[in-house]
Amino acid sequence: MSKKTVFITGAGRGIGEAIYKKLKTEKYKIIAPSRDELDLNDNVSIYRYIETHKNLKIDILINNAGVNFPSWIDELTDDNIDKHMQINLISPIKLIRAFVPYMKKNQWGKIINISSIFGVVARGKQTMYSATKHAINGVTKALALELGPSNILVNSVCPGFTNTDLVKRNPPEKNALIAKDIPMGRFAQPEEIAELVSFLISDKNTYINGQCLVIDGGFTCR
């Protein structure tokens, strides 16, 4: 059987890098454009990439790239709103739209949206992050309904606090306090998130569809 082709965004570091490394050990052809090749904050870049790669036959799409710029509501700038919307929500939808026709033709596909626990719960200063992560979970559910009949499984993975640059920018004292609230007493390692993604896109997953799978060490059980 020929290798399946995976397309993943944001694979240069953090969770995306861990997924990339894990999938490299498995039987996939992987396409992982850098930000220079595909800037998700720029629709021109997205359209140019899609146009110049229109012969790509993508079996599995992993929308991983994301940003989080915390802000109190009364300090929230238009630029902050636009960046979250564009990178966390609009660009994944545009990539799905571009790659789904081949999956439909092939009657096989897997789509993973890397969401967040803040797509399920929320906290202060996370208005836009939470808005976009809740919304991408809505996209996952709507598309599971729409694409299930074409044998395309669509799921969200919702990590809790994970040791990447996204959280390393917090003061260590703050992260230590957060870790105390996590039943496991620690943040996730990116490799732990990659294991779940690897399973969901594998042939072992034949029936999980439209789910927002929380992987947070029990944090959201409180």
Ligand X SMILES: NC(=O)c1ccc[n+]([C@@H]2O[C@H](COP(=O)([O-])OP(=O)(O)OC[C@H]3O[C@@H](n4cnc5c(N)ncnc54)[C@H](OP(=O)(O)O)[C@@H]3O)[C@@H](O)[C@H]2O)c1
Active site includes 47? no
What is the smallest separation between the CB atom of 126 and ligand X, expressed in angstroms?
A: 11
Q: Are strands 60-63 and 109-114 parallel, antiparallel or unpaired?
A: parallel
How far apart CA 95 and CA 132 sit, in angstroms, is: 16
- From candidates 6, 8, 10, 153, binder to ligand X by CB under 6 A: 10
> 66 vs 109, which CB is nearer to ligand X?
66
How far apart CA 170 and CA 187 sit, in angstroms, is: 13
Q: Tell which positions 73-92 bind ligand X, by CB under 6 A.
A: 87
Question: Is 188:163 a contact under the CB 8 Å cutoff?
Answer: yes
What is the smallest separation between the CB atom of 57 and ligand X, expressed in angstroms?
A: 22
151: tokens are: 């044998």
- From candidates 50, 85, 93, 167, binder to ligand X by CB under 6 A: 167
Question: Is 6:30 a contact under the CB 8 Å cutoff?
Answer: yes
Q: Is 165 in the site for ligand X (CB under 6 A)?
A: yes
What is the smallest separation between the CB atom of 170 and ligand X, expressed in angstroms?
A: 10
Angle between helix axes 190-201 and 14-24 (nearest 10 degrees) is 50
> 165 vs 203, which CB is nearer to ligand X?
165
- Which helix or strand (DSSP H or E) is residue 62 part of? strand 60-63
Q: Is 65 in the site for ligand X (CB under 6 A)?
A: yes
Q: Is 99 in the site for ligand X (CB under 6 A)?
A: no
How far apart CA 73 and CA 71 sit, in angstroms, is: 6
- From candidates 8, 30, 32, 40, binder to ligand X by CB under 6 A: 40
> 66 vs 217, which CB is nearer to ligand X?
66
DSSP string, 110-173: EEEEE--GGGTS--TTBHHHHHHHHHHHHHHHHHHHHHGGGTEEEEEEEE-SBSSHHHHTS-HH
- From candidates 5, 29, 31, 35, binder to ligand X by CB under 6 A: 35
Residue 136 — φ and ψ, nearest 5°?
-65, -30
Q: Is 123 in the site for ligand X (CB under 6 A)?
A: no
Binding range to ligand X, per CB under 6 A, among 5-13, 102-110, 145-153, 194-202: 5-13
Binding range to ligand X, per CB under 6 A, among 46-54, 59-67, 170-178, 197-205: 59-67
Q: Is 67 in the site for ligand X (CB under 6 A)?
A: yes
Size of the site for ligand X (CB under 6 A): 26
So which residues are the catalytic ones?
Answer: 129
